[in-house]
Amino acid sequence: MRIYAIGDIHGQLGMLRTAHARIAEDRARVEDPAAPVVHLGDLVDRGPDSSGVIDFLLDGLDAGNRWIVLSGNHDQMFLDHLDAAQGNAAGANGGVSWLDARIGGRETLASYGIGTGFLTGRGKVMRETQEKVPEDHHRFLRRLPLWHETRELLFVHAGIRPGLPLSEQSPQDLVWITVD
């Protein structure tokens, strides 16, 4: 059985649509319309339309497409920001803020119409996050699994620790793995 994988789309809705169009063409060519598509996380940040990417995935899942969507480290950072906007504790990896220009959180918020300019205060950003990010996007990110396993394959966003059973893998490794 065929299986397709799309990794690190990073808010690039046009590229995601193109990837799905190519998959549809290949499915038709090989006559395997039921072949699943695994999205390997990092749906958001850096690109111009993270909100559109999440809408696209939600619409496709609601339509019954055989899509699996995993969480990546950027998705987790966005979820941490959403949780913080609701008053829940949030963390950052390595002390780098999700709104740091290297990460791409500003682009994600901009896709929801949330400004993060130099003079924009954190309180205003958090209020706008609560108001403008749809609850179904928050719920979607919260429910994303960290891995998908088939009989022969294991899909994760970042990696696994060699020699450790899947049940003992750290969620941190599955979305952030670093080499010690």
Topology of the domain comprising 4-176: Purple Acid Phosphatase; chain A, domain 2 (3.60.21)
pTM for the structure as a whole: 0.91
pLDDT at 119 over 70: no
Q: Which residue has the tokens 């950072």?
A: 77
CA-to-CA distance for 119 and 107, rounded, in angstroms?
A: 16
pLDDT at residue 59 is higher than 70: yes
Element containing residue 11 per DSSP (H, E):
none
Q: Is 156 exposed, middle or buried (0-12, 13-18, 19+ CB in 10 A)?
A: buried
CB-hemisphere CA count at 13 Å for 23? 21
Q: Half-sphere exposure (CA, 13 Å, Cβ side) for 88? A: 7
pLDDT at residue number 92: 46
Domains of the chain, residue spans? 4-176
